[in-house]
Chains A and B, each alone.
Chain A
Amino acid sequence: MKDFLQLMGSTTATPVGLEAYLIVAAALFVLGLTACIARRNAIGILIGIELMLNAAVLNFMAFWRFQGSPLDGPAALAGPVMGIFIIVLAACEAAVALAVLLNLYFNFGTVEVDMVHEMKE
Chain B
Amino acid sequence: MAATETAGWLGANLSFWAITILVLVSAAFTVYARSIIQAAYSLFFTLLGMAGFYVLLGSGFLAIAQVIIYIGGILVLIMFGVLLTDRPIAAQTSSLKWTYAAASLGTGLLLVNVFIRIILSADWQPASALGEPREAIAELGHVLLGSQLLSLELAGLTLLLCLIGAAYLVRRREQ
Contact = CB atoms under 8 A, between A and B. Distances in A.
Chain A partners chain B? yes
Contacts of B170: 99, 102-103
Chain B binding surface, main DSSP class: helix
A26 B84 CA distance: 32
A76 B139 contact: yes
A33 B111 contact: yes
Q: What is the interface of chain A mostly: helix, strand, loop, or mixed?
A: helix
Interface residues of B, number: 88
A12 B9 contact: yes
Interface in B2-61: 5-10, 12-13, 16-17, 20, 23-24, 27-28, 30-32, 36, 39-40, 43, 46-47, 50, 53-54, 56-59, 61
Interface in A33-60: 33-35, 37-41, 43-44, 46-48, 50-51, 54, 57-58
Contacts, number: 250
Interface residues of A, number: 78
23 contacts: A12-B6, A13-B5, A20-B20, A26-B115, A27-B24, A30-B112, A30-B115, A32-B31, A38-B100, A38-B104, A39-B95, A43-B36, A47-B40, A48-B31, A50-B78, A80-B140, A81-B148, A83-B54, A84-B144, A94-B77, A95-B77, A96-B165, A99-B169
